[in-house]
Amino acid sequence: MLKNHLKIAWRNIKKDKLFTIIKIGGFSIGIAACLLIALFINNELSYDDHYQKKDRIFRVVMQGTMDGEVLKSVHFQRLFAETLESNYPEIEKAGKINTSELFGAGKRALRIQGSSQNMLDDGFVFADQRAVEILELDFLEGNRDEVFKNPSSIILTEEKAQRYFPNGDALGKTLFLDDNTDKPYTITGIVKNNPAIKSHFDFDFLLVIEDKNTSWTTTNYFTYVLVDENTNIPALEEKMGAILEDYFIPAQMERGMGEDFMEVLKTLEYKLQPIGDIHLKSDIKMGDGLKHGDIRFVWLFAAIAGFVLLLAVINFINLSTAKSANRAKEVGLRKTVGAFKGNLISQFLTESIIYSFISFFIGVLLAWLLLPNFNSIADKSIVMPWASWWFLPIIVVSTLVIGLFAGLYPAFYLSAFKPVNVLKGNLSIGSKSGSLRSGLVVFQFTTSVVLIIGTLIIYKQMNFILDKKLGYDKEQVLVVQGANLLNNRAQAFKERLLGLSEVKEVSISDYLPVEGTKRNGNSFRKSASGTEERSVPAQIWRVDYDYINTLGLQMKSGRGFSKEFANDSSAIVINTSMAKKLGLDNPLGRQINNGQDWTIIGVLEDFHFKNLKEDIEPLTLVLGNAPSMVSVKLANGVSDGAIEKIKGIWNDFVPNQTFEFTFLDQEYAQMHDDVKRMGKIFNSFTMFAILVACLGLFALSAFLVEQRKKEISIRLVLGAPFKSIYQLLTLDFMKLILLSILIAVPVGWYMMNRWLEDFAYKINIGWDIFLMAGFIALLVALLTISYQSISAALLKPLKNLRAE
């Protein structure tokens, strides 16, 4: 029986090549799209899944409420981890980590002992021994329990060890950081690089924390804990609140915080975040500097994958029922000679499963071929899990399930034909079948139009971000990397640069208005003494006299820093948001205090220094010696000649360090890489969806033209013009597409409006987007069915009527 089913199925598959190609093509595209998204989702969900004690490892989060908003922070004091471990027996170990950005910005210079050449690199992280143990670092060389016994130890990843020591003899070698020969570091461990392991905690160089600060007001560290098995987490969180009462709040009170800040302190509590939630479920306003995913994007892409696959299944159902007339006589004859309905159903389901197997084979192959391009778009390094034990079983089961699901309705529909009616030629396909096909076409194009709307809005929001006036001039600003190597020669380097005709302005600072570095957090209040005034958390950046001019910042009132004023060492420039938070209508000349008295000399117009998902925060600028960043404003645009001259001066000052630079506008664009990646992925799968829908529409229009050939021929004989034939065959489809657009508009508006809520600064969704999406859908649909409609209008009627 099965052999006979397979023979008949294969014969039918070969019989109508066009429909077979479209069925398998649409199915294969849907499967490839679904598989790529499934691999992406698996990659995102598998972060931090490799820890053997994953269920017992947590990151500590402190949260509180300010002005009705819940704020979360993961920055803690040096003593916090030790206090947790010594006070709570449920906590087996507590360790701390911080990234190099907490101490500065940009790359750091690294030099091997015996070499005269510095190399710039990043990925420096500081940790203690406990953190190394909690995070289960997998050592290729070195002993995990002893790697940090020496405070001058440094751990390298396998990749960096191979880069700097290609002969494989890295262990025990000496490195110097930032050209500081007084502080040699000894390599005590090499950690394995495993591409299959994804972790929120990423580093290339791991150093020992040597901080001796005992203050409970200085917060520089992420804290991780390993708890005992069967620990009651909510109960432990509640017990940890005693640390707030005993240490943190008293320390803040000693600083003389305002009454409003004291109210905030009363809302503080500690929470333990499972390590598996850090990558996708972190909503840390006071940022942790890590590259996070977003669980909402994961589910969004999962929905897209499901819809694309569903569109492919709908194509299969549509085309199977559309071709029912061609199979009617076969069904009638087989029933006449004794075939039961069950035999026919199993026959049609066998065909469906064969289609599914062929489609899955091609779809998996297509996904494999497209994976490098997908990785480039998604900024991933996903590989096909050929060797994974679960991959083949999932593919086989999915093939059977989808094949059965896609074939169920056509099987029952075709097997229900009555042989008497069929053999008499009285078969009526019926309105129910046509209505179903119409409904499925509407569903396909509704989904496609929603995706088109989403793509257009993401594209428009991305352009808005990149073109938005930020409050500073990011164009033609060259940023010199590794400027901390200049040390006390930074000012002389600046003077040499200013001597170039190609250079307009130069500034030395610790921070620039881009993400990737942690700014120093401070709390300011208006009153220089007393605690009655409102405290305002703000960032404080150390800059030089030319910072405001170099970046083109706009003064709202007052002035910037000037060498003509000796007291500017205690002066401060604030932004407009800071003035509003402090409640200062006339801030010039007023004093504010963060443990030190500052006199406000100027107020800046607000400018963006974070991505546009966030509101502009209070910010302060003070004079300071901070040679972390050298920003060079070019006078006549970017040119190779200007860069070469700057490089020449750099080589005069730091001859053993390669000249490396970036541009400020590029760094700004990188702040929104996540939005760009989402847009590219969304756009790619929108194209998949449209292609699948169009394949179905093309095949369906071809079938309907085939069905109405004689009708069309009679109309042509009676003198019907080309235009009327074309309208006859396209008008019904256009009505379905218009209905799809009407349904898609409110759905697309709602979904994308929710997405835009993540942005503090965003576009308004106008009718132009929906009109454009509708036009694209109509145009694509019209082009898809026009070939068949034009071909039908050009038929030779005598050829089709000869049989009559």
Reduced to 3 states (helix: H, G, I; strand: E, B; else coil), residue 470 is coil
Q: How far apart are the first and last CA of the chain?
A: 39
Report how far residue 559's alpha carbon sits from residue 572's, in angstroms, rounded to the nearest whole number.
10
Does the pTM exceed 0.85? no
Report how far residue 678's alpha carbon sits from residue 674's, in angstroms, rounded to the nearest whole number.
6
Residue 389: the pLDDT is: 84
Beta-carbon contacts of residue 732 (< 8 Å; ≥ 6 apart) = none
Degrees, nearest 5: CA angle 496-497-498: 90
Residue 527: the pLDDT is: 62
717's tokens: 């004989």
Report how far residue 148's alpha carbon sits from residue 127's, in angstroms, rounded to the nearest whole number.
9
Cα–Cα separations (whole angstroms), residue 551 to 64, 414, 471, 507: 35, 72, 9, 9
How many of the other CB atoms lie within 10 Å of CB of 707? 15
- Confirm if 740 and 362 have CB atoms less than 8 A apart: no
Which portions of the chain are predicted below pLDDT 70? Answer: 1-6, 8-9, 100-106, 255-261, 285-289, 321-341, 413-434, 515-521, 527-534, 626-627, 706, 795, 797-804
How many of the other CB atoms lie within 10 Å of CB of 649? 18
Reduced to 3 states (helix: H, G, I; strand: E, B; else coil), residue 89 is coil
180's tokens: 């500081």
Residue 794: phi and psi, rounded to 5, are -100, 15
Reduced to 3 states (helix: H, G, I; strand: E, B; else coil), residue 351 is helix
> Exposure string (b/e) for 475-492, b if CB count within 10 Å is 16 or more?
ebbbbbbbbbbbeeebee
CB-hemisphere CA count at 13 Å for 41? 18
Residue with tokens 């009462």: 245
Report how far residue 244's alpha carbon sits from residue 266's, in angstroms, rounded to the nearest whole number.
9
Please give the single-letter amino acid code of residue 483.
Answer: A
- Confirm if 94 and 82 have CB atoms less than 8 A apart: yes
- Look at residues 762, 761, 28, 751 and name the one whose alpha carbon lies nearest to residue 452: 751
Could you give the residue ranges of the DSSP H alpha helices within 565-639?
Answer: 576-582
Q: What is the largest CA-CA distance in the chain?
A: 108
Residue 400: phi and psi, rounded to 5, are -65, -45
What does DSSP say about strands 535-543 and 174-177: parallel, antiparallel, or unpaired?
A: unpaired
- Look at residues 265, 395, 354 and name the one whose alpha carbon lies nearest to residue 14: 354
Read off the pLDDT of residues 428-458 as tens digits, 9 standing for 90 and up. 555 555 677 788 788 888 988 998 999 899 8
